[in-house]
Chain A
Amino acid sequence: MRALLSISNGLAAVTDAVGRAAAWLFLPMALVILYDVLQRKLLNVYPDFQQTALYQFLPSTKAQELEWHLHGFLFMLCLGFTYIRNGHVRVDILRETFSQRTRAWIELLGCLFFVLPYTVLVVDLSAGLLVWNSFLMNEGSSATTGLPMRWIIKSSLVIGFGFLAIAALSILLRHIVFLFGPEELRPLANRYVKGDEIEEMKQDVEEELAQDAADHPEHRFGGGNGANGKQG
């Protein structure tokens, strides 16, 4: 059981690392968009920009295709990461009334019968239909100045759903440990049956308000500094 938990932690760590790396793609995305807007304005006043090496390297069509290429990788690679971080939306109304064991059973069955078949199907079909086909055809953009090698972006489905499957496997193992393992391992395995989204948001905002109270004592927000209130 301890070994299962270690495997689960290892799989979770890998998925999380991939997601953390992919999360930085926000920055190049924003910069490419900025570049695209600026170069269009620049072309209006300085048409010779078209002759520069920069424009040759990244014309508008390429920039725009690069935007959705980056986004494709960004969200696909974060699907598993989000599951590991318990970020996929749940409808909590009934869940709150369930015991931890019931929740663990639901998670276990869900991983087994929903997530794993779903991810295996998508990985399998996209590897053949999207990536391999595209590679064989040497498929590129339909625009002459667009990006080549469509198989690269199409492989984001295979990789993304692959890591979602790994995340599901990790969570599945944890719940096996939680449900069938020894008593002392349970607290280590129950991360997902506890999660409380609102509580986490609340902590974030409270940190933010504490920072604000340090910077601007005159604001007097939140409940912590009640003594300063004018009309107590």
Chain B
Amino acid sequence: MPWYEILPAAMLICMALFIFSGFPVALVLGGLGLAFGFLGIAVGEFKLVHFNAVPLRIYAGSVENIILVAIPMFIFMGTMLEKSGIAEDLLYTLQLLTRRLPGGLAVSVTLLGTILAATTGIIGASVVLLTLMALPQMLKRGYAPGVASGTIASSGTLGILIPPSIMLVLMADQLSVPVGVLFIGALFPGLLLAGLYVGYIMTKATLQPQSAPPLALDDAPVGLQFVGLVVKSFLPPVFLMVLVLGSIFAGWATPTEASGIGAIGATLLALFRRRLSYAVLKDVCYRSAVTNAMIFGIFVGATCFSLVFKRLGGDFLIEELINSLGIGPWGVLGMIMLVVFLLGFFLDWIEITLIVLPIFAPIVAGLDFGDHVGSAAMILPWFAILFAVNLQTSFITPPFGFALFYMKGAAPYVNIKHIYRGIVPFVVLQLTGLLLCLTFPEIITWLPSVVLK
């Protein structure tokens, strides 16, 4: 085997090896890029001057890039919202609203997960929040642990899909498609999945009432007082959603502008709800800064890694490998989906979006799906959203699903077997949703084609 085949392959293997050592991913990527650059120099496949591209690319790709400014702003918005306490108010009101429905409490958790997803998009935090807030109550009310944990894990991960999603911003940047197209395209698939969850919960609660018993909140407010409560708890998130998503969908603001307005809106909300103090503001800034630097650390590390990987012939190797399989466009798509699904067990969306997506993107852009997707310009957005749905599925798939770990960590008293068993129907729903989006690309492409006219 020649060096240009051995080095990139070894690079991928080393990446897997060192990432699993538990050393920070961002730093493994940067360090490995460097190490293989020097290895490449030793065997004559790389030159010292090629390293010059590293800082140039870091600057041009991550600093001088106004699209990515949306990421810190969405993080700030989400962190601030968490502090504003609107989630607690919302869950309480949703419970009251859905208390006559079969499986009302689980339905209200799903709805809350969907609404949270539409205001932020950090899934680890969402799953922990929902687990601590709703799981004890669901168990106390007699829900089967499987139903309760399945509902929380799946609704808590909707955030990576439903706009505004930080992941979609990063994907748009990687694939060079407009952020707005991905946001608008992801809306229906996200709602479709939430709808499937609600349908399943209600069916299950009707057929097996003992697994999801109805609520009895006798002292619930009634009449005008109740209407007031509903308005008071729904107004803040609806206001933010209209502000952020509305202005993007209507074309009034770019996603970056909308994110800044959303950050200010969330701060004002916290102020009006008397949760904003100097200490809270400071905490939100520090915490958002850590999350943001974590994402951009990987971004920068992946820049270094993929630069060396490509220079050593890595993308060529992968393309050749895929072509030699001779499995046609659908086979390639299926294979990529499988790889992403499996990686999603172990890695966070950040690593997958920043390392794997750039490797596969040029291949997908060149695939010919005939007129399955309609216009050729929609192939990448369609692929990106399939990728997102797929990734979300892998987060809730036992035994290694990411969200399941967060949940178990936040609720150590729940038996992991119950979590595994309870999530299975939701995985089936996810796969149904994924299959629907694959078969009927209109679910993804229709809304952008109408809105962006």
Q: Interface of A with B (CB < 8 Å)?
A: 19-20, 22-24, 26-27, 29-34, 36-37, 64, 67-68, 71-72, 74-76, 78-79, 81-83, 85, 87-95, 98, 103, 106-107, 110, 113-115, 117-118, 121-122, 125-126, 129-130, 153-154, 156-157, 168, 196-199, 201-202, 205-206, 208-209, 211-212, 215-216, 218-223, 226, 229-232
User: Contacts A118-B30, A199-B409 hold; do A68 and B63 have CB atoms under 8 A apart?
Assistant: yes
A61 and B113 alpha carbons, distance in the complex (Å)? 38
**Least Cβ distance of A157 to chain B in Å?**
6
Q: Which residue of B lies closest to A83 (CB)?
A: B24
Looking at A153, A206, A231, the one whose CB has the most chain B CB atoms below 10 A away is A231
Contact A88 B27 (CB under 8 A): yes
| Cα(A87)–Cα(B292), bound, Å | 10
Task: Summarize A's interface: helix, strand, loop or mixed.
Answer: helix
Q: Which residues of B contact A206 (CB under 8 A)?
A: 132
| Number of B positions contacting A (CB below 8 A) | 92
* Contact yes or no, A88 B26, CB < 8 A: yes
CB nearest neighbor in B for A198:
B409
- Chain B residues whose C-beta falls within 8 Å of the C-beta of A198 in the assembled complex: 124, 128, 405-406, 409-410
Whether A90 contacts B25 in the complex (CB less than 8 A), given A68-B66, A129-B55, A221-B134, comes out as yes
Q: Is the interface of B mostly helix, strand, loop or mixed?
A: helix
Residue of A at shortest CB range from B134?
A221
Tell me if B237 counts as interface (CB < 8 A to partner A).
no
CB contact between A33 and one of B85, B261, B267 (< 8 Å): that residue: B261
How far, in angstroms, from A54 to B139 measured CA to CA in the complex?
58
CB of B63 within 8 A of CB of A72, answer yes
Known contacts A89-B26, A230-B217; is-contact A78 B346 (Cβ 8 Å): no
Residues of the B chain whose Cβ atoms lie less than 8 Å from the Cβ of A208: 82-83, 85
**Known interface pairs A30-B264, A33-B256; A106-B132 also in contact (CB < 8 Å):** no
A75/B20 in contact, CB under 8 A:
no
Which of B293-301, B330-338, B443-451 contacts the other chain? B293-301
Q: Are B22 and A103 in contact (CB-based, < 8 A)?
A: yes
- Distance between Cα atoms of A20 and B405 in the complex (Å): 30
13 further interface pairs, Cβ-Cβ under 8 Å (given A23-B288, A68-B64, A201-B128): A26-B263, A26-B285, A27-B285, A37-B257, A81-B290, A91-B346, A94-B22, A113-B31, A130-B59, A197-B124, A206-B132, A221-B133, A226-B136
Task: Say whether A110 contacts B132, CB under 8 Å.
Answer: no
CB pairs A–B below 8 angstroms (23 shown): A20-B286, A23-B288, A30-B263, A87-B291, A87-B293, A88-B297, A89-B298, A92-B22, A94-B22, A114-B18, A125-B51, A125-B54, A126-B58, A129-B55, A198-B124, A201-B128, A201-B406, A206-B132, A208-B85, A221-B136, A222-B136, A226-B140, A231-B141
Q: Which of B69-77, B167-175, B358-366, B389-397 contacts A (4 or more CB under 8 A)?
A: B69-77
Residue of A nearest to B32 (CB): A114
Residue B240 at the chain A interface, CB threshold 8 Å: no
